[in-house]
Amino acid sequence: MGQTVIIRLVAKDDKSIIEVNKLLKKAGIKRTFNTEADNVAWHKDINTNPESHQKHLKPITLEQLKGLFVLYCEPGVLFFDVAFSRTSQAEAKKYAEFILKHAQRIKELEGALSMIERFDLSQHEQEIIKKLNKVVPDPVKLPKDQRTKRDLQGGLMLCKSWGLQPFWVIFGKVKDDQPIFLKDRIYEDDLYNNLYRDDSGYAYLMLPLLPLNDRQLEFVEKVYKEAWSMGLRENFNLFIPFVYGLDIVNLDSVAKDYKENYTVEELRERFYFIFKATHSVFPYGCPSGFHWRDDKLMFVPIGIASMQVQAKCHILTALLRALGPKISAEIMSTMLNKKYSEFEFTKK
């Protein structure tokens, strides 16, 4: 049995829902049925209140909020948790009495049989709860050959997020160029599928491929904004050039931007990761690769430069400038097993 009890009203308009909320208050129940006005107020709070508990989601549209918190934003819905004594016998009795008294206003219950199992309710209360309770059938599983394969264990970049755990970004087939988290597809109804997580517990955000047209900047700005609303917390001037290969200009300004957005340890981590990723495709110090020019104080491609290696050289250069000469010399000495000195990263 479920542990969350859901009550759905017949009425969906705010005026009718507010009338029922008055009845809840009269019954001594502290919770209320959600209204569209509640959704609008919550949306405004997220985007304007610096103390909002969901401030990490801004900027977010009302429709995006409803998509992220479907049950919370459904008009005419009230739910409560009966697990681990989160609902007392006295509170459960108030809910049961309310359901019995106002059954004609209630469209359905979901997960309500757990009330009968856990609490001492009257025969009439049990009967009406059973009558109104919606029995949710077990979800239908996909054939095994159509389920998500568990072989994805890495991506383009392990990204900082607003939560405690980072997530990978990958390119994938997405609808309307909208980033979306990869699901672990087991059931036909995608609502039952959880996020795909690899063996390390990391989720995967799928990104659309870069279009071959003259609107690429507009495209990546839109993708970045949507990814940000989904939890991405990487700097635009690092994320977009690395993932999409679009170059950056004004390296000193970008370095300052990095320094303001990342800690020293985060800058180190990103330098190591991007250097290794670049080296794996464009070997350092080899033809068609890249190397450090102390006379120019920057990484430069060797030979004919592709847009990809040029962008990554500029990211690495900006990262070292953000870290400063001393740490830059230390990092490069460690990376290449060769002694580097501060003067090689200091303006002459």
In a domain, 93, yes or no: yes
State how far the Cα of 257 lies from the Cα of 259, in Å rounded to an integer: 5
Per-residue pLDDT, averaged over 41-70, amounts to: 89
pLDDT at 136: 78
Read off the pTM. 0.68
If you compute the radius of gyration of the chain from its CA atoms, what whole number of angstroms results?
Answer: 27
Nearest of 70, 122, 135 to residue 95 by alpha carbon:
122
Nearest of 41, 48, 54, 49 to residue 14 by alpha carbon:
41
77-81 and 106-110 as β-strands: parallel, antiparallel, unpaired?
unpaired
In a domain, 184, yes or no: no
* SS3 (DSSP) at 267: helix
pLDDT at 188: 84
In a domain, 111, yes or no: yes
Q: For residue 242, what are the contacts with CB-CB under 8 A and spacing of at least 6?
A: 156, 157, 274, 277, 311, 312, 315
End of a domain among 107, 134, 161? 134
pLDDT at 80: 94
Nearest of 346, 339, 302, 305 to residue 323 by alpha carbon:
346
Q: How far is CA 111 from CA 25, 101, 137, in A?
A: 23, 19, 12
Per-residue pLDDT, averaged over 223-232, amounts to: 92
pLDDT at 346 over 70: yes
Per-residue pLDDT, averaged over 281-298, amounts to: 92
Per-residue pLDDT, averaged over 296-318, amounts to: 91
Phi/psi at 135 (nearest 5 deg)?
Answer: -85, 115
pLDDT at 305 over 80: no
Q: Are 10 and 132 in contact (CB under 8 A)?
A: no
Residues 19 and 130 in one domain: yes
pLDDT at 163: 78
End of a domain among 134, 167, 184? 134
- How many domains does one find in the chain? 2
In a domain, 62, yes or no: no
DSSP secondary structure code for residue 2 in this structure: -
Q: What is the mean pLDDT of the chain?
A: 92
State how far the Cα of 346 lies from the Cα of 348, in Å rounded to an integer: 6
Q: Are 3 and 83 in contact (CB under 8 A)?
A: yes
pLDDT at 1: 41
Q: What are 311-328's pLDDT values in tens digits? A: 999 999 999 999 999 999
State how far the Cα of 335 lies from the Cα of 271, in Å rounded to an integer: 10
Q: Are 154 and 168 in contact (CB under 8 A)?
A: yes
State how far the Cα of 178 lies from the Cα of 194, in Å rounded to an integer: 19
In a domain, 98, yes or no: yes
Q: What are 150-207's pLDDT values in tens digits? A: 778 889 999 999 877 899 999 998 988 999 999 988 888 877 788 899 989 999 999 9
In a domain, 198, yes or no: no
In a domain, 44, yes or no: no
Read out DSSP for 140-167? PBPPGGGSPPTT----SEEE-BSSSS-E
Q: Are 106 and 10 in contact (CB under 8 A)?
A: yes
Nearest of 207, 109, 196, 190 to residue 151 by alpha carbon:
196
Per-residue pLDDT, averaged over 112-124, amounts to: 94
Residues 240 and 130 in one domain: no
pLDDT at 337: 92
End of a domain among 115, 134, 153? 134
Residues 8 and 130 in one domain: yes
Range of the domain at 334: 235-348
pLDDT at 83 over 70: yes
Residue with token string 């479907």 = 70
Residues 8 and 129 in one domain: yes
Torsion sign (Cα): 287, 288, 292, 293: positive
In a domain, 308, yes or no: yes
| Per-residue pLDDT band at 31 (split at 50, 70, 90) | very high
